[in-house]
Every structure is written in C-alpha cells, then in structure tokens.
Amino acid sequence: MDTLHELTEIFRAFPGVGPRQAKRFVHHLLQRGEDAEALSALAARLRKSVVRCELCRRFFTKEGSFKKCRACRDEGRDKATLLIVARDIDLEAVEKSGSFRGYYFVLGGTIPILDKQPEKRIALAALIARAENAAKEGLKEIVLALSANPEGEHTAETAARILAPLAKEHNIKISTLGRGLSTGTELEYADAETLKSAFKNRQ
Amino acid sequence: MDTLHELTEIFRAFPGVGPRQAKRFVHHLLQRGEDAEALSALAARLRKSVVRCELCRRFFTKEGSFKKCRACRDEGRDKATLLIVARDIDLEAVEKSGSFRGYYFVLGGTIPILDKQPEKRIALAALIARAENAAKEGLKEIVLALSANPEGEHTAETAARILAPLAKEHNIKISTLGRGLSTGTELEYADAETLKSAFKNRQ
Amino acid sequence: MDTLHELTEIFRAFPGVGPRQAKRFVHHLLQRGEDAEALSALAARLRKSVVRCELCRRFFTKEGSFKKCRACRDEGRDKATLLIVARDIDLEAVEKSGSFRGYYFVLGGTIPILDKQPEKRIALAALIARAENAAKEGLKEIVLALSANPEGEHTAETAARILAPLAKEHNIKISTLGRGLSTGTELEYADAETLKSAFKNRQ
Amino acid sequence: MDTLHELTEIFRAFPGVGPRQAKRFVHHLLQRGEDAEALSALAARLRKSVVRCELCRRFFTKEGSFKKCRACRDEGRDKATLLIVARDIDLEAVEKSGSFRGYYFVLGGTIPILDKQPEKRIALAALIARAENAAKEGLKEIVLALSANPEGEHTAETAARILAPLAKEHNIKISTLGRGLSTGTELEYADAETLKSAFKNRQ
C-alpha cells in the first residue's frame, strides 16, 4: 500500500484539482505534520458532526441535538417566501447579500439539459414535501434562485413544473430572479436578452 | 522620414494595440497592396463622408444631404422615450437587441469618477438641447443606458442631475436600466447588489 | 458606398482584430482627424517607399537608391554565417539580442505540417540563390533559427533538405538553434525533450 | 468547535487554494463519505509511512526497513553524476524525461533573492555531506538543475559557492542545465539571453 500514491489519488478527485496540484497537497501535508493530523481528525469527524438540515437540506455543524440549521430554526424569518437554490454555496451568497429574509431550500445540484432522470440529480421529492409543509404555514411565494445559464434555467423550469400543482392548489406564486445588468456588465457586451430585461426592468 | 516607423506609430495609438501588433499591421499592409490602397482612400474619405447625426450625435455615412441618421429620420419610432448611451457601439448593441423602439442620444463617452470638467467628456449641452427639443414632441421618459460599473453610474448620475430641471418642468420620467442577473451570471459569484436587484425584480 | 462599413472590413482583415475592435479603430480615426489623414498618406506611400531587401528579403524604408537593407549593406558583418528566420519580426528579435553578427535571410513565413506546396509559403528559390551567392563569399554555416514548435521544426527540416546539396558541395554546415531551458522555464513544467537538451547542453 | 469551518481552514492553507475552493473540497467530502474516511486514515498514516530518503532527501513510502528511496538503492546508476533539484516534483520531472541516469539530491526548496539565511531554506549541510560521500564513490560532476528564473539562478549560485571547496579538492565539475529554446518557444517572443544561449548552443 503506497500512502503517497493513494493520498494523491484522493486529492485528484477533489473538484478542480489536477495531478500536479494533488501532489503539492501531499507535500504540503508532509511538511506540516500538525495539519496532517488535524486533517485526519476533522475528516473522521466530518460525517458524524456535520448533518443535513432536515428542512432546507443544507449541511451544518451539529449543535446539540438540533436537526435544523440556524436559519430554519429562526422563527423570526418571513414564512411567506421560500427561496430555492442549487447548492449550499448559493444559499450562502444570497444570505450574505442581505437581500432575503425568508426560508431556503437546497436542491443539491442542477439538472443537465438532456438529463433523463432529474430526480437523481436534485431532491425533487424533498422539495415537494418542504413546499407542502410551508404551505400550511402561510407560504405565498416560491422564488427559484438559479444561475442565469442554460442548466440553471432548465433546473428552474423542472422545479416549476414539479411545483405547479401544489402552487395552484395553495395559490402560491412561483417566481424567478430578475434579469438585467449585473454589476460590471458593460452595455457594449451585453446580449440581447440581458438588454431586453434591463430595459423592461428599468426604474 | 521612415514610413515603416511612422505607420507603426499611427497603429500603436489605436485602442488596444501594442507595439508588436502595430508591426504586424504594417506587415499585413505590405503583403496586401490592395488593402493598403483601399485603406488610404477610405481614411482620406472618412472625415468627408462620415458625419455626426445632428440629433443623436452618432456617426453615420452621409447619404445625400441628410444631416440625421436613419433612426432619427424614422418618424415611426416612439417619440415618448429617449435612450441615452455613452458610445455609438452601445447604441448599436441596444438597437440590435430589438428591445427599444424610441430615439437615441450618444453622449460621446463617460465621465471618470473624479473628473472636474464633465462637459469636456460628454456632450451635456447637446443633451439638454436634444431633450428640450424632444419635450416639445411628446417625450415622457429618458432612459439612462449606461454600463453597470462605477464610471457608468457616475455618468448616469451626472446626466440625471443636468436633466433634472427640464424633466421636472416637462414632467418627464428619468429612469435607468434594470439591474439583476445578466446572461451567464452564476449565483455563487453574484455580488450583493446584483442579488438584491435580482430578488427585487423577480417575476 | 458605405465608408464606415468598408473601413471596418479593412480593419477586420488585420491580424488578430475582431469585429468590435475594428469598429473601435474606425471611431478612433473619426475622433482623431489628423491621424486619419496621416494614415491615408502613409498607407498610400507604403508600397512606394518600403521595399524588400534584394538580399535578405526583409522590408525596409527606402533610403536613396539602395536595394539592400542596412544590415546587408554592412560589409563589416561576418560573411561565414547566414541566419534563416521565418519573419521580419524574428530577424528584429535576433538582431536586438546582440547574439549574432552575420547576415540574415527571411523566409517570409512557415510551412504548415501537411502543406503540399511549401514553395508557395516560403521563398525557397530565393533562399537557394542567396546561399549560393554567400557560398562564393566564404559562407561556412547556415543557422536555421525557427521557433521550437511543430511548424517551426517542419519549416527548418524543409529548408535543410532544400539546402543539403548546396551545403554538401560547398562544405557548409547547417545548424539549428540550441534547445534547453529558456528564460522563465520551471523545471517542474519542462517537457522531456527540453530536459534532455538542457541536460545534454549543460555547462 | 465547528468542524465545517475548521476543515475549510485546513484546506485554505493548501497551496493555491482559495476560500471558495476550500468550501467545495469540504462539500466534496460531505458527499463522498468513503473519501472522507480514506482521507482521514491516509492523513494519519502519512507521517508514519512516508519517510525522507537519507541520501537524496526525497519523500517515499516506506518499504520494509529501507531508509533509502528506490533510486538511491539502485547500484546500477551512474555514480559519476549527482543532479541537484529544488523539490521532489522536479526530481520526478527529470526522472520521467529519461535524460538522467545518475543520483539525485533534493534541496527542499529555493532561496529568495534577498534571503539572509539560505541554510534555513534549503538543506545545505546535507548537500555537502551527500557530495562528500559521493566524492568517495567516484563523483565527477554535480549538475545544478534549477529553474531558469531569478530564484532558481540565485539558488544555483548559492549551492555552487557552498560546494566550491569540496569540488576543488576532489576535482568535481559543477555544471548547470543548458539554456536555449524550450519546447514551444517562439523566436519572436524569446528574450535576449535565451537567444544568445540558443545561438551559442546551436548544433
């Protein structure tokens, strides 16, 4: 068993890491013994101490016996809106922007355009369960907060279709994030769709 | 007089062209004699045959004795809206997007944040004249279509301030293009302002 | 005839220039009338005042009735070596480096790997004529100074094959530039061939 | 104790990893439980099962009770040459190129230009010991195989100075890797030093 080689392979499977960088990671740990030990302890603890929130499905470090993350436990948030994101990191971006005070739901990914089994990619059943649950507590609007690219749009469309019956029954609005000029967009390089939305959403 | 050197210097002053590319341009012309001749003829003709539209200030190739560009001569466009852009190329991007059917005005540039003499950067006097003129023909809204960056925003603010008295007098709305997710924006990388606008403009 | 459009097309054909940059070039000239005039004059003069050196084939601005460039007219250079480059710009790089004091010859391009008619790409007939001429004046070595990429190597091989009979007859050595670590090369990223040459040429 | 946060910090300290990528690594492990466990086990084992070769100082996975890496145990290699590299990864690049059949020594890093204590950056004492040892076994040449950049050159100069007395005493040649065009170098962009070396090492 070749520890160097095996550890390199583990790092190679990390997102965005090539063979050279994987080797550098191993050498980094060889030179920093304490980091190797800390990493070993944390990686072992990870699956025990980090759990998925049973409401929004984001990962969070267990605190006591809570099964919900801090945001989902916060009764002061706006129960009328539920914002759907693809990944934990999107949730964090929205939360950090301070633009939203309702509840979240994390799909766990996006659906590639030609994918035949969307239910394997994102948590559609859990999404319906969460929305039904929220409907009983006054949900008025579901905001589909996906990226403005083909895969994001396809995922939003799929989620909207899945949620349609429930939305109709409970009179819940389904919305998507507004399009327009994002920070840094130069007019000259903006595509027609962005310019149309920007003109329509002018204020 | 060293033709090679002088011509290289002319090309070096072109926007975005470095010393190596300038040399390549000269060599391109050396190898394509007809292009050199055509360039010579066109460059000589440029200032005579291309004029600024007396209404929107874009450049256009003279056709007969017209002093207005094709869009400004088109009586079928919407006289209620005037869209203000920084440069000809922005006007073309908006026109190509098919999102706008009113009239245009080209400022001729943008105003750097700390600039003391904005009237030297952009055609503010002509802008007021154009807006006054349009006010008599039913203008209801001026759309400031500047890029979503600090210089664009500063330019929009300056134009808005300059236009304020006139807008008040004639009851003209001054608007700016809507902010939100532009095509390709990934949620994870969107800044707080973009996310706030995207949430606010959700639909 | 649309001057704006035609001039944009001329610039689009320039090496490395896209449609947007071509438009910017035209606007640059519209805003700088003197540059447009100077460009017109220089482009007209270009083919008359710039000639190809009849020995090395580089372009140079005519001085009096000289048919040879300054380097080819310089009797003080080393007649024993002739350095062959692909383009004028390569000649300038070598001359600027101060590493060479012999005479030059410019092929006028490189030969793509699968090209069937190399004689249309580079001046092979003129190369032989130049080498024969130099052989009479004491030529001892021809240095093929091509880029270290497949097209450069293919061009060097073709030139070497063409020159072989002449080289044999006059006992002229044909050499290529040395391989090794170039400035900035990091060992970790160096390919096997570079490392082999670097090891072989160690000193 | 927040496992998510702590683990993110460990990854952030990895070479070339930013805050976003560190988070992605953590999520990768959350989604792949087996990888988290394997990583934990390997990181724990790393310092016990990977040792530094007592001769060349590279890291290798322990095999039995060997204290030397495979290359240093190989009696069939050329005892006349010792090649000095900065890091394990450089050693691997040279070994993979097949250009060298002697023995290696890994300095463990490079020396920044203005560094006052080179002995803290690289294993100078061990280098001398290794060279003395090799001198007794027929060493004829030490090849300094450092990158062709200022820090690499400074490191090579320091090593050469340190080794000078020993080299003189035992009549050992100290050489550096050859400079020239490396694979992919385009003549037009080559600097003067590279061109000079390429011309000097022509063949």
Determine phi and psi for A103, rounding to 5 degrees.
-105, 160
What is the interface size between B and C, counted as CB pairs within 8 Å?
128
**What residues of C are in contact with residue B89 (Cβ under 8 Å)?**
20, 23-24, 27
Query: 3-class secondary structure for chain A?
Result: CCHHHHHHHHHHCCCCCCHHHHHHHHHHHHHCHHHHHHHHHHHHHHHHHEEECCCCCCEEECCCCCCCCHHHHCCCCEEEEEEEECCHHHHHHHHHHCCCCEEEEECCCCCCCCCCCHHHHCCHHHHHHHHHHHHHCCCCEEEECCCCCHHHHHHHHHHHHHHHHHHHHHCCEEEECCECECCCCCHHHCCHHHHHHHHHCCC
Q: Provide the percentage of residues in chain C whose pLDDT is more than 90.
A: 88
By CB atoms closer than 10 A (0-12, 13-18, 19+), residue D184 is middle
Q: Residue C191 and residue D87: Cβ atoms within 8 Å?
A: no
- The encoded tokens of residue C190 equal 């160096």
pLDDT at A61 over 70: yes
Work out the number of other CB atoms within 10 angstroms of the CB of residue C164. 12
Give the nearest partner residue to D180 out of C85, C152, C182, using CB atoms: C182
Q: Residue A195 and residue B89: Cβ atoms within 8 Å?
A: no
Report CA Rg, chain D. 21
**How many angstroms separate the CA of residue B203 from the nearest CA in chain C?**
34
C175 to chain D, any CB pair closer than 8 A? The answer is yes
C16 to chain D, any CB pair closer than 8 A? The answer is no
| Angle at A199 (CA atoms; ends A194, A202), nearest 5 degrees | 120
Closest listed residue to residue D128, CA positions, set D157, D150, D160: D160
C89 to chain B, any CB pair closer than 8 A? The answer is yes
pLDDT at D128 over 90: yes
Q: Residue B15 and residue C28: Cβ atoms within 8 Å?
A: yes
- The encoded tokens of residue B57 equal 């200030």
In this structure, which CATH number among 1.10.10.10, 3.40.1360.10, 3.40.50.720, 3.40.630.30 belongs to the domain B70-176? 3.40.1360.10
pLDDT at A202 over 90: yes
**What residues of C are in contact with residue D200 (Cβ under 8 Å)?**
99, 178
Are residues C197 and C178 in contact, defined by beta-carbon separation less than 8 angstroms? yes
Q: pLDDT grade, residue D64 (50/70/90)?
A: confident
Find, in chain B, the residue whose alpha carbon is nearest to that of A144.
B202
Pairing type for strands B141-144 and B173-176 reads parallel
Query: 3-class secondary structure for chain C?
Result: CCHHHHHHHHHHCCCCCCHHHHHHHHHHHHHCHHHHHHHHHHHHHHHHHEEECCCCCCEEECCCCCCCCHHHHCCCCCCCEEEEECCHHHHHHHHHHCCCCCEEEECCCCCCCCCCCHHHHCCHHHHHHHHHHHHHCCCCEEEECCCCCHHHHHHHHHHHHHHHHHHHHHCCEEEECCECECCCCCHHHCCHHHHHHHHHCCC
By CB atoms closer than 10 A (0-12, 13-18, 19+), residue C42 is buried
Extended beta strands in D136-199, E state: 141-144, 173-176
Q: Residue B180 and residue A178: Cβ atoms within 8 Å?
A: yes
ipTM: 0.89
Give the nearest partner residue to D97 out of C100, C178, C192, using CB atoms: C192
Indicate the SS3 state at residue B124: helix
Pairing type for strands C103-106 and D173-176 reads unpaired
Q: What is the mean pLDDT of chain C?
A: 94
B24 to chain C, any CB pair closer than 8 A? The answer is yes
Region of D83 (left: φ > 0; alpha: ψ -120 to 50; beta: rest) is beta
Chains that touch A (3 or more CB pairs under 8 A): B, D
C80 to chain D, any CB pair closer than 8 A? The answer is no
Are residues C91 and C55 in contact, defined by beta-carbon separation less than 8 angstroms? no
Mutation site, D1, D21, D29, D42, interface A, largest A CB count within 10 A: D42
Find, in chain D, the residue whose alpha carbon is nearest to that of C200.
D178
pLDDT at B55 over 80: yes
Q: Residue B87 and residue A178: Cβ atoms within 8 Å?
A: no
Alpha carbon A65 to chain centroid distance? 24
Q: pLDDT grade, residue A2 (50/70/90)?
A: confident
**What residues of D are in contact with residue C85 (Cβ under 8 Å)?**
187
pLDDT value at residue A47: 82
Domain borders along chain A are 9-49, 77-176
pLDDT value at residue D37: 95
Q: What is the mean pLDDT of chain B?
A: 94
A29 to chain D, any CB pair closer than 8 A? The answer is yes
Give the nearest partner residue to D3 out of A10, A26, A45, using CB atoms: A45
How confident is the model over B117-171, as pLDDT tens digits?
888 889 999 999 999 999 999 999 999 999 999 999 999 999 999 999 999 999 9
B93 to chain C, any CB pair closer than 8 A? The answer is no
C147 to chain D, any CB pair closer than 8 A? The answer is yes
Q: pLDDT grade, residue A1 (50/70/90)?
A: low
B182 to chain A, any CB pair closer than 8 A? The answer is yes
Query: In CATH, what number does D77-176 get?
Result: 3.40.1360.10
pLDDT value at residue A76: 95
Q: Residue A201 and residue B178: Cβ atoms within 8 Å?
A: yes
- Convert D94-108 to b/e letters by CB count within 10 Å (16 or more is b): bbebebbebbbbbbb
Pairing type for strands D141-144 and D102-106 reads unpaired
How confident is the model over C63-76, as pLDDT tens digits?
888 899 999 999 99
Give the nearest partner residue to C181 out of D148, D175, D190, using CB atoms: D148
C23 to chain B, any CB pair closer than 8 A? The answer is yes
How confident is the model over A161-196, as pLDDT tens digits?
999 999 999 999 999 999 999 999 999 999 999 999
pTM: 0.80
**What residues of C are in contact with residue D199 (Cβ under 8 Å)?**
94, 99-100, 143, 145, 177-178
D15 to chain C, any CB pair closer than 8 A? The answer is no
- The encoded tokens of residue C67 equal 């048919």
Which helix H or strand E contains D29, and what residues bound it? helix D19-31
pLDDT value at residue D120: 87
Q: Across residues D99-115, what is the average pLDDT? A: 95
Query: 3-class secondary structure for B141-194?
Result: EEEECCCCCHHHHHHHHHHHHHHHHHHHHHCCEEEECCECECCCCCHHHCCHHH
**Alpha carbon distance A91, B188 (integer Å):** 8
**Alpha carbon distance D100, D91 (integer Å):** 10
**Alpha carbon distance B81, D8 (integer Å):** 52
Q: CA of A115: how far to CAs of A88, A107, A122, C196, in Å?
A: 22, 16, 11, 48
**How many angstroms separate the CA of residue B164 from the nearest CA in chain C?**
30
Q: pLDDT grade, residue B1 (50/70/90)?
A: low
pLDDT at A131 over 70: yes
Q: Provide the percentage of residues in chain D whose pLDDT is more than 70.
A: 100
Instruction: Calculate helix-pair angle for D192-200, C88-97, nearest 10 degrees.
Output: 90
**Alpha carbon distance D92, D99 (integer Å):** 12
D10 to chain A, any CB pair closer than 8 A? The answer is yes
Q: Which residues contact B2 (CB under 8 A, 6 or more apart)?
A: C61
B133 to chain A, any CB pair closer than 8 A? The answer is no
**How many angstroms separate the CA of residue A149 from the nearest CA in chain D?**
20
Q: pLDDT grade, residue D48 (50/70/90)?
A: confident
**How many angstroms separate the CA of residue A18 from the nearest CA in chain D?**
12
pLDDT value at residue C93: 94
Longest dimension (CA), chain D: 65
How confident is the model over C154-177, as pLDDT tens digits?
999 999 999 999 999 999 999 999
**What residues of A are in contact with residue B183 (Cβ under 8 Å)?**
148-149, 179, 190-191, 193-194
